[in-house]
């Protein structure tokens, strides 16, 4: 059997016990498992998903139907699936370097259920759907210059960390257009020469708990956590619910058809400003500056590492905004799927604007060690897009393929990535280079 050459590739498939992927908590479920436990296949090889009905009489499962798609995009095969014996197979010949998504829908106890199986062919050969814009670097250089023309105006307030021996602060900084950046900081009391870590936030509108930074501070980090929006950090929950339903409702679509007005412009520039600020702090060790995040935070991590050479390591789990033009070639979209959100907007302008906020185009500028976690049944940050991004990384990289993980890692299916994340952080904090498994 042709296996992925793990000893030569940056792609590391760390396997977990199978977890049910059906989203409904019930006794009877359907599971899909790729015949290769790591989900990796060669081009030209048959991808086989073993489908099993678990719990109860399989004859009570009604209306079973399957489809295979390009990671949630173009449907490649579909049909009815006989699950009367409790087992079946879905087979598709992998003919290109992409991720494949198998989906089984069925009615169980009167409820429509969906279960997924993932696979990828030749993960190290997945490429972006469009080339990098010729003026990508010039555009971002001009925007960073605009940011640095604005005085940072840091406003720092000391607060109660709730942890003995840990200092807690909040800071706001000036952004372009009169906006403010909000972040929280924690570090060991009397700490000096500390490695710095910047956490960037996933999508949504929510408060930032102090533990995001205090837990890392207890371990010896100068820890920073950045709010993705121009909002205070710790208001009551209703405040964020109201903002998410009103002023920030559908914020990813704000200004999306112009690279100069995209909502993500100030978000990315805010991350750059925070990195600048960290480097002014006397507690910092003057050398270690780590960026990490999940989903939207993974996008920000890749963007910051691509724009900011002083970042020393980057860690991104299920990064968003990868290969935003994927739908133009039939692949499944990656959040926020700007092209799929269009209504009356100019499609041509949108196609051009979104490329300046595409993780694949920042990745080519990253030369530092980078850890990436990719779920093969993730229909939010699609694995083809994430792989296209990872393959653009110019430095040492470790890609942890999570064969059974959706976007949120239900059933602890992202544990393998988290193990590696902690191992990387522990090594960096100790002043060592992380052990980049599988790096070229």
Using an 8 Å Cβ cutoff, are 101 and 118 in contact?
yes
Angle at the Cα of 334 from the Cα atoms of 321 and 337, rounded to 5 degrees = 85
Q: Which domains does the chain have, with CATH numbers?
A: 19-125 (2.60.40.1930), 136-429 (3.40.50.1820)
E-assigned strands of 70-219?
Answer: 75-80, 87-93, 99-108, 111-121, 155-159, 166-174, 180-188, 194-200
pLDDT tens track for 399-416: 999 999 999 999 999 999
Global pTM reads 0.92
Whole-angstrom distance, CA of residue 306 vs CA of residue 334: 19
SS3 268: helix
SS3 content of the chain, % helix, strand, coil (to 5): 25, 30, 45
Query: pLDDT tens, 217-268?
Result: 999 999 999 999 999 999 999 999 999 999 999 999 999 999 999 999 999 9
State the Cα–Cα distance between residues 136 and 316, nearest whole angstrom.
22
Given a cut of 70, whether residue 292 has pLDDT beyond it is yes
Question: d(Cα 350, Cα 257) in Å, to the nearest integer?
Answer: 4
Note the pLDDT of residue 346.
Answer: 66
pLDDT tens-digit profile of 20-29?
A: 343 434 468 9
- What are the residues whose beta carbons fall under 8 Å from the beta carbon of 259, sequence distance 6 or more? 139, 265, 352, 353, 356, 357
Which ranges constitute the DSSP H helices of 279-405? 296-307, 347-354, 359-363, 383-390
């Amino acid at each position: 059997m042709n296996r992925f050459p793990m000893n030569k590739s940056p792609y590391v498939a760390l396997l977990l016990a199978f977890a049910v992927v059906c989203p409904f908590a019930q006794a009877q479920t359907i599971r899909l498992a790729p015949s290769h436990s790591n989900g990796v296949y060669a081009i030209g090889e048959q991808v086989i998903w073993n489908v099993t009905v678990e719990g109860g009489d399989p004859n009570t499962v009604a209306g079973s139907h399957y489809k295979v798609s390009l990671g949630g995009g173009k449907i490649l095969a579909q049909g009815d699936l006989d699950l009367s014996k409790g087992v079946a197979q879905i087979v598709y010949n992998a003919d290109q370097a992409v991720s494949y998504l198998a989906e089984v829908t069925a009615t169980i106890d009167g409820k429509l259920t969906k279960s997924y199986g993932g696979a990828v062919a030749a993960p190290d050969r997945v490429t972006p759907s469009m080339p990098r814009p010729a003026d990508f670097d010039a555009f971002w250089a001009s925007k960073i210059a605009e940011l640095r023309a604005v005085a940072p105006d840091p406003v720092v307030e000391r607060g109660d960390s709730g942890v003995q021996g840990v200092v807690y602060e909040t800071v706001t900084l000036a952004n372009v257009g009169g906006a403010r950046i909000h972040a929280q900081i924690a570090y060991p009391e009397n700490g000096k020469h500390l490695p710095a870590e910047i956490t960037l936030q996933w999508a949504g509108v929510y408060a930032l708990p102090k533990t995001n930074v205090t837990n890392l501070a207890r371990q010896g980090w100068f820890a920073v956590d950045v709010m993705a929006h121009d909002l205070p950090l710790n208001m009551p929950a209703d405040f964020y619910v109201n903002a998410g339903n009103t002023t920030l409702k559908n914020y990813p679509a704000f200004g999306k058809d112009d690279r100069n007005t995209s909502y993500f412009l100030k978000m990315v520039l805010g991350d750059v400003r925070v990195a600048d600020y960290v480097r002014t702090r006397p507690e910092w060790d003057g050398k270690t500056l780590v960026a990490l995040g999940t989903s939207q935070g993974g996008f920000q991590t890749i963007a910051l590492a691509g724009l900011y050479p002083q970042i020393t390591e980057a860690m991104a789990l299920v990064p968003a905004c990868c290969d935003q033009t994927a739908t133009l070639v039939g692949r499944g979209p990656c959040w926020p799927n700007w092209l799929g959100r269009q209504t009356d907007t100019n499609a041509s302008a949108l196609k051009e604007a979104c490329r300046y906020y595409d993780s694949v185009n920042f990745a080519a500028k990253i030369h530092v060690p980078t850890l990436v976690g990719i779920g093969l049944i993730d229909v939010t940050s699609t694995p083809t897009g994430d792989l296209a991004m990872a393959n653009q990384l110019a430095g040492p990289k470790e890609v942890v393929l999570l064969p059974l993980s959706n976007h949120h890692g239900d059933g602890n299916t992202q544990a393998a990535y988290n193990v590696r994340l902690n191992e990387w952080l522990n090594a960096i904090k100790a002043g060592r280079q992380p052990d980049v498994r599988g790096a070229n």
